[in-house]
């Protein structure tokens, strides 16, 4: 797995009909992208029905305390044997919550990145930027901040790069 962290500005869409509303300074989102290749089992055919990615980000909050952001993306109908990507985002407000200062968060503020890929509950890939599974440390649970990681479909980036990322499983309607 190859993992890249970048800051991405909120995309600016142009639509006919509604009046355009200008945003003076688009805010920045943290983007974590994973490059991977999935090899389906022979009995599955070329498409993997479900592939789960668990993300772990270690960052320091405004008090310089380590915080772990966690999130999961479930990809469906993943075509195997080609270069693929999975991506997550942390929105600008969540980044401000961490730093206490809008626009201050930068990719260098991510101390460690961990990604675990699972097929049918069985681990089939892993990445740890520091070489250790920091998310399994005894102190990790007390520093965890769930709900701050968003999948692509939960962001303004949802309309972009459709051919780059496998489909994301939608939550069941209630």
Helix, strand, coil shares, percent, the chain, to 5: 15, 45, 40
Q: Where along the chain do its domains lie?
A: 2-12+20-154
What secondary structure, in 3-state letters, does 91-133 show? CHHHHHHHHCCCCCCCHHHEEEEEEEEEECCEEEEEEECCCCC
With beta carbons less than 8 A apart as the criterion, state whether 125 and 119 touch.
no
With beta carbons less than 8 A apart as the criterion, state whether 110 and 89 touch.
no
pLDDT tens over the chain, length 174 residues? 999 999 999 998 887 888 888 878 889 999 999 999 988 877 878 899 999 999 999 998 888 888 999 999 999 999 988 999 999 999 999 999 998 888 889 999 999 999 999 999 999 999 999 999 999 988 776 788 888 999 999 999 999 999 999 999 987 545
What pTM value is reported for the model?
0.91
Q: How many of the other CB atoms lie within 10 Å of CB of 150?
A: 19
- 3-class SS of residue 13: coil
d(CA 74, CA 119): 10
For 143, the token pair is 């520093």
């Amino acid at each position: 797995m190859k993992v890249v962290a970048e800051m991405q500005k909120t995309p600016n869409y142009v639509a006919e009909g509604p009046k355009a509303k200008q945003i003076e300074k688009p805010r920045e989102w943290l983007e974590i992208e994973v490059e991977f290749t999935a090899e389906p089992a022979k009995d599955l055919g070329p498409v993997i029905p479900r592939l789960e990615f668990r993300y772990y980000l270690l960052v320091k909050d405004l008090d310089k305390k380590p915080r772990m952001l966690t999130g999961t993306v479930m990809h469906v109908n993943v075509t195997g044997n080609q270069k693929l990507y999975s991506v997550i985002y942390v929105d600008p407000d969540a980044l401000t919550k961490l730093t206490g200062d809008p626009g201050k968060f930068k990719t260098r503020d991510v101390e460690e990145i961990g990604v675990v890929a699972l097929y049918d509950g069985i681990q089939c890939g892993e990445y740890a930027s520091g070489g250790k599974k920091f998310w399994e440390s005894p102190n990790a649970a007390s520093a965890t901040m769930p709900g701050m990681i968003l999948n692509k479909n939960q962001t303004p980036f949802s309309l972009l790069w459709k051919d780059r990322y496998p489909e994301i499983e939608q939550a069941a309607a209630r």
